[in-house]
Chains A and B, each alone.
Chain A
Amino acid sequence: MATLEREIRFESDRDPEFAAQIRRMPGCENLNRCIQCATCSGICPLSTYMDMTPRRVIQLARDGFKADVLNCNTIWLCASCYQCQVECPKEIGITDVMYALKCKAIEAGIKPKQAAPQTLYREFYNLGTKNGRISEGALMVNTVIKTQPARFWSLKMLGLRLLRTGRFGWKIERMPQQSVLKAAIQATPPINGKESS
C-alpha cells in the first residue's frame, strides 16, 4: 500500500510575528488576500523545479510557518520575472514576498540545500557594495568555482570566446570614489519588517 508522505503542521509550529514582518516588507502588504487560485504556480516558468509551488509558499508564509518557507528551494529559484505578480488576481506582490523570504533566510543564517543561487547573490552583493561596481569576470569565475567546479573546464571554450570578443576581462571595476557609497550604505537603516525599524 502506498504511503502518503505528509507532515501535519500544528498551531505551535506557527510564528504569527514572522508573518506580520513579511507583510510589512515593501510590496508584501496584500499577502493575506490570497485566495489560493494558483495562478502564480501555473504561470511560473520554474515551478516544475520547485519543492513547493509559489501558491503553497504564499499560504505557509501568511500562516507563519517560518521553518517551511525559509528552507524551501522555491525562494532561491525565483528568477524575479514578475509574471506571477502581474497576473495575480488579488494583486499580491508575489515576487516581493520571495525577495522578503530570501532576506529572512539570510538573516536566519539558512544555507539552502541547493546553495548556488544564494552564493551568487552573496558574491554579487559583496563585490557590488565593496567596489560599487560589478566586475563580471571575477563574479563569473568565483561563482563557477564555488558552485560548479566540475563545469569550470567545460566552460573554457566559452571563456576563450568571451576573451577574444572582449566581453570578459580580469580588470576589477571600481567607482572612482567608493567611500561615498560605503558611507551611504552604513547610514541606511535596515528594512526588515520589524516594528522598531
Chain B
Amino acid sequence: MKYAYYPGCSLKSSGRAYEESFLAVCKILGLEMEELDNWNCCGATSFMSIEQGPAYTCSVRNLALAEKKNMDLVAPCGGCYGVLLKADHYYADYPAVRNSVDKGLAAEGLQYRRQIQIRHPMELLTHDPGLKAIRSLVKRPLKGLRVASYYGCRFLRPVAPFDDMRHPQTMDSLMKTVGARIADYASRGRCCGGALAGSIPKMAQELTYRLIKDAQKAEADVIVTGCPLCQFNLDAFQDEIIASHPDVKPIPVFFFTQLLGLALGAEPEELGIQRLIVPGIKILQEKGILGDKKADEKKVPVAAGAQNG
C-alpha cells in the first residue's frame, strides 16, 4: 500500500532528521511513501491567527491533493498533523468553512469529499506493520535506555484520534516494543511553548524548562517526541535554559523514529542523529546500544600487535 507523504516545511530544514529517520524506518518496514506533488504549507498556528478563510483553504488543499491520488495522507510533523486534522473536522462541521474552502479549491479544479484518512507515523507504525512485526525485526534492542515520551499538544488536542487525551500510550508502546524502559513522565502532554519560542523566548523557555525538569525527575536518559517544533524547542535552547535554571542538566531529545530506526538496525548517520544540538550518541554508547567507535579503533592496533607478536 502506498501513502501520500506530506513532509511539511520543518521536515525539509530544522527537522530534517525526522524525515531521514522516518523514511529509513518505512523502508525497513516496507511502507511505501510517495511525496505529495506541489504540496503547500499547512498554515500552522499563524494562518489561523491572521485570515481564517485562506487558512482553511491552504490546509484542505493538501487533503484534496491526496484524495485525488486516492491515498491516505501521512503527516509526521505534529503541527501539520493537528492543523490538517482540525481543518478536516471543521470542514465537515461548519458550513462557513465548507463554503469558503470549496470556492477556493474550485479555482484550481480541486474538490474535497473527505474520503481519505490523515495519519501520523506514531499511529501508522503501530497499526499498519503492527507492534508484533516491529518486534520481530529488532536488531539492536534499546536495553537499559530510559525514555520519557513527550507528546505535547497536537496528537491529543483538540481531538485525540488514536490515543487517550490524558493518558497517551502510543509512543510508549512503540518504545517498549523495541526494548526501551519507560519513564513515568508527568508532563507528557503539556505545552512546549510552540511558536512563542521564536517570539517571546523567555516565556517559552519557562515551559520547556519544566518539561526537562520533569523528565529528569522521572530519571529519564532521553526524551522522545513526534513533532519537529517540540524537538527544536526542547533541543536547541538547552544552553539558555540551563544558564537561567542550573538545576537541570543537558538531556538529548530524539525523534521517536530515530530510536526506532536504531533498534531496527539503521545506522546513526542515516537517522540524522548527528543533527541533534544536545549530542545523543554518548548515552547510546554508555548503554551499550551503539559500539564505541573510538574504543574500537584503539582496540584494533592492540589486536594486530598481538597477532604479529
| A interface residues (Cβ-Cβ under 8 A, vs B) | 24-27, 45-46, 49, 77, 79-83, 85-86, 93, 95, 99-100, 102-103, 106, 114, 116-117, 119-122, 124-125, 128-129, 132-137, 139-140, 143-144, 147-148, 151, 157-158, 161-162, 165-169, 173, 175-177, 180-181, 183-192, 197
Contacts and interface: CB of A to CB of B under 8 A. Distances in A.
Interface in B157-198: 157-158, 165, 190-191, 193-196, 198
Given A26-B94, A185-B58, A189-B53, A86 B157 contact: yes
A49 to B, nearest CB: 6
A73 to B, nearest CB: 10
Given A103-B52, A190-B53, A85 B14 contact: no
B49 A99 contact: yes
Contacts of B40: 128, 132-133, 175, 181
Interface stretch (B5-13, B119-127, B212-220): B5-13
A143 B51 CA distance: 20
Contact of A116 (B93, B96, B157, B200): B200
B239 A157 contact: yes
B9 A103 contact: no
Nearest to B105: A184
Contact of A120 (B15, B99, B195): B195
A129 B48 CA distance: 12
12 contacts: A82-B158, A116-B200, A119-B199, A121-B45, A128-B41, A133-B41, A177-B38, A180-B38, A183-B108, A185-B58, A188-B53, A189-B53
Contacts, number: 211
A169 B10 CA distance: 12
Contacts of B3: none
A82 B49 contact: no
B157 A180 contact: no
Contact of A187 (B48, B106, B194): B106
Given A95-B158, A128-B43, A181-B40, 16 more contacts: A45-B207, A85-B157, A86-B165, A117-B195, A128-B46, A129-B47, A129-B58, A136-B13, A157-B239, A173-B9, A180-B38, A180-B107, A184-B108, A187-B103, A191-B96, A191-B97
Q: Name the residue among A45, A139, A177, A185 with the largest chain B CB count within 10 angstroms.
A: A185
B142 interface: no
A186 B24 CA distance: 39
Contacts of A177: 38
B261 interface: no
A46 B13 contact: no
Contacts of A136: 9-10, 13-14
A54 to B, nearest CB: 13
